[in-house]
Structure 1
Amino acid sequence: MPLFNVYPLYDVTPVSGKGVYVYDEKGTEYLDLYGGHAVISIGHAHTDYVDAVASQVAKLGFYSNAVQNPLQVELADKLETLSGCKDYELFLCNSGAEANENALKLASFKTGKSRVVAFKNGFHGRTSAAVAATDNANIIAPINAQQKVTILELNDIEGVKAELEKGDVCAVIVEFIQGVGGLDEGSAQFFESVDALCKANNTMFIADEVQSGYGRSGKFFAFQHYNVTPDVISIAKGMGNGFPIGGILIHPNIEAKFGMLGTTFGGNHLACAAGLSVLNVIEKNNLMDNVNTMSNYFLKLAKTIPQIKKIKGRGLMLGLEFDFEVGELRKKLIYNHHIFTGGAANKKLLRILPPLTLRKDHINMFFEALIEALSEVEQPVNAS
């Protein structure tokens, strides 16, 4: 049967990967600066990761959450140590959308309220409440639109204050660095004021770290660049290096009850083995230090390219903004220079989300290719 045609596809067929490279069926090597939407955190086919997953699947790939699974406890302890999120509790699921869905559900349980405040250009997933909190009418079906969501401009602290004081908001959900929306960030004053307003109005503050977490911003979580304490932290993409796994870190002010949340596949043995391997590699190879070093080097070179009008993001979650739409530029990079990059809702933005193992020679390769690719695309004469 045919596949349901919902993805516009590039004519590239990766069949294998190693480190920051993927290879197609003809053996062509591509530099992967997108990591499949920031999923590949420790590099393709990392030997420690492959060994951990292979060893676990040879023993026990899955059993349900009706039995003890010490791997979940080990993963939670390692996550607490590396993230610095002391005293939070972990609930495991399968994806970022599911993580945000459970975060919003917990907020509603805790507060007894149902309305959500989210922000323009935010993206939180494609399931029920998560997609309703996403600022994209094209992916919100009528069944999703029944959710009570108010979308405000980022940095509109007076708007947040007015909505929370109405008394019916269960949660404010925010990406500290917007992903799909285009790498925009709120100010420190905004985030810290939202945190305070949530605490004053019996509203849960949800940090969507699905894309920005796991060291990608230069700290383990992007919210750690600010003086805030989220009630729930959602995680997924870089968590399993390609294996489907997600979760939420839950502040102790939210009490667990049997049956409150549940999942069949979430936290299965194979997912935990993958997740533990990622954390172990991040720690062993000092990848968060590498993120900051490579980010500084990347930014230094980016500032030498006159066509780049603005650089957005932090760490290895970066956006290069031009004064023209970058669709054709991305095609040139893929087909002529064999480099994967990402797009965004902001059509003038090139997204850079490489594995955290990126090196300076990879960055040099990218900028050499970018300069050539820019000469190959037709750019507007008087763009503004």
Structure 2
Amino acid sequence: MGSERIREVPVTAVTPDRPADRRTPAAGAAFRRLLVGTGALWALVTGRPVSLYATSVLRIGYGLLYLIFLLREFPHRHEIWGPGSPWTPALAAQLFDQTGWNSFLILSDSRAYFELCYVLALVTSALFMLGWRTRATSVLFAVVVTSFHARAIFMTDGGDNLVLLMALYLVLTACGRQWSLDARRKRTRAARAGDAPERVRSVPAQQLRAARITLTTVVHNCGVFVIAAQVCFLYGSAGLYKVQGPFWGDGTALHYVLNLELFQPWPALSHFVDQYPIAMAATGYLTVLTQVAFPFVLFGRLKYPVLTMLLGMHLGIAVLLGLPLFSGAMIVADAVFLPDRFYTFLPRLWRRTAMRFGVRLPAPRRGTGRGSVPPQGGPSVPSLRLR
């Protein structure tokens, strides 16, 4: 027995200071997934501007909507925003001391000053809609909407609340790169330059230009994400509030709304629609379901029928309840969820329709590499795109 060798079997102890080795691969895989997700998100935010056409549609929509709103209220401008309004500048100043708001309309009690401000508001809305010097006019448009909203905060139908938020968010975006006078001016300059060699820049100038482009892209993308989050929060909260109400639960909410005199622009039409209680109950349930489900269908093709139903809902609100500003603001806000390829398809669809009816249109311009719009997101992050 003395010649026998005792084989020593190594024993690996698991102590609190040394966890089991089998946990290490799982933790490493989770860490790698976190790094990949972080890199994909960073590439999405900094790689290229997303939704350039969608933000241009928002610029055109809100500029046109507010221009129409100011023109519609032109005969009543003095009663709503003027110095002789029942909500006097002194009362507005007292409210501003409590809320922190401000308005350039109360800087003077002169009627000529108010008329000048109103004309400038009309011009600013038109220039913002057309996309002329959009960086500057977007700031001016936000100031105009903020001032008019704060001046008569109790005298509007609530639709201007969303217009105010979107006007502030659009300042952050590059909403003038497509379908604007700025884009047309850029194409004209590029056509005049032709094949002329570009001016050689120094290394610091190139780095400064690259940093400016990256910063502009990040701010634009963050602005787009904030707009999308704002609309999702609006729909989700509206749906959840409706779920808590007993009238929406038993399907009678629309019946009571249609019988309110405040929301009866055409009483005969409201009474006619109210004669179909089953259809009204089904519409109410569908409205709640659509609003609650809206934030969860944005990254699939199901969002297209949902957006179509929301479009019909807002058109019904505009016609039956007499809230065109609110409905228009919501319809324009929904446009942010449509990808750029949808908007680039619209001109081709219009051209095909015109050719089918025998209407001849001018040949489309061919975009160069620099002027063309890149696809949303990056090639490495397809799961984060808004399809």
- Does TM-score exceed 0.5, indicating one fold? no
Q: Which has the higher helix share?
A: 2
Q: Which has the higher strand share?
A: 1
Structure with higher Rg: it is: 2
TM bin (shorter chain): under 0.3
